[in-house]
Amino acid sequence: MDPSRSFHQFNDLPKELRNSIWEYHFQSHRLHVVHPGPQSENINSMKEVLSYSCTILDPATNIIIKDARPPSPAINREALEVFQWCKRKWTPITFTKDLPESVTSGRGRLPPQFAQLASTKINLPKVNDRPIYVDWSRDLLYICAAHSEQAFWSLRSTPWRGDVRSLALLVPHTGFAGAIPFGASAPIREVLECMSGLEELFIVFIPHEGTKHSPTTSENIAKLKRDMHGFVPYVSYLKEAGLATSLMLYNRAAMSINKAMSDAPKKIKIEKVVDVDYLTTPFGHYKRNVRVP
C-alpha cells in the first residue's frame, strides 16, 4: 500500500464509527467471476475440457481481491467482536477443480453440444487447488466467458450447486446457435432446477468492443447507477447509449431463459443488466474499471 494513503488515526475515531467501519469490512460481499483460465486459450470447448480461473472483485470499487480467504478477524478484540456479530458463513470452493470434474463425472446426461466430450478419453487439466471462500448468502457467482456453455452445464452436478443463491450469466456477442444457456430452453430449465437454492439470475450483456460514443454519452454512461454487484439496468444503458432495443441475440437469450422458467415450481428473479465497467483483457483474465464509491 502507498504509505501516503495510509490512515494512522483509526484508533482516535469514536468507537461507534470504528464499529461501523469494521462492520462494513466484514459484511461487504464479493463478486466471484469464473472464466476460462489462460491454459484454455487454444482449447475447443466443444471437444475438450476447459480449465477455469476465478477473479474475485469488491463490487463497490471493482478492485480485484487477491486474497481468496475471508477477511481475518485476527486484528484486535474490537474487530473480533464485530466479526462474531456479523455471523458470516464462508465455504471453501475449488472452482478450478469442480467445474472440469463435473463435465466428466457422468452424474448426468451431456447435451448434444458435448457429445464428443462423452465419447473421448479426457485428461483433466492440472489446476491450482487452493480454495476460494464464498459466502453463498451474500456473494454473486458470475459465469463470464465468450463461450460459457460448458461452465453453465457443469453447474448442474457440482457438489455446491444447491448452495448458490445469486448467479450471473454473460451473454456473448457471438456464439454457437445451440449454445447453452443461449439456445434451446430445455437445458436451461434442467440446469437451473438442479440449483435448488437459486433465488436470482442476472443475464449480463457487455457493450460491443469498439462502440463509439460521444464524450458526453460516455460520461453519462459512467455515471449510471450501479446495483450492489456493479451492474447497470439494461434499459438504463440503452437509453443513455442511444441504442435500439432490438439487440436480438441478447433479447433472445433473455426470452429463452424466461420461457424456460415461466412455469417452474420455484420462481427465480430474472434481471437483464449490463456490465458497463468491463475491460477487454488478454484471454483468461477479467477486469473492470476501478471506481471510487
Residue found under cell 475491460: 279
Residue pLDDT, tens place only, 147-201: 667 888 889 889 999 999 999 998 876 554 445 566 666 778 888 988 999 999 9
Q: What pLDDT was estimated at residue 3? A: 47
Name the residue type at position 25: H
What angle is formed at CA 232 by the lines to CA 234 and CA 282, rounded to 5 degrees? Answer: 100
Neighbour count for residue 250 (Cβ, 10 Å): 20
- Better-scored residue on pLDDT, 110 or 130: 130
Which of 88, 187, 90, 162 shows the shortest CA–CA distance to 132?
90
Residue pLDDT, tens place only, 186-209: 778 888 988 999 999 999 988 877
Least confident of 12-21, 53-62, 96-105, 267-276: 12-21
Q: Residue 190 corresponds to which cell in the numbers above?
A: 434442467
Residue pLDDT, tens place only, 203-251: 998 887 767 778 888 899 989 999 999 999 998 998 888 876 556 667 7
Q: Which residues are paired to 232 by β-bridges? A: 274
What angle is formed at CA 275 by the lines to CA 34 and CA 213, rounded to 5 degrees? Answer: 140
Calculate the alpha carbon distances from 206 to 44, 136, 191, 209 in Å: 23, 25, 23, 8
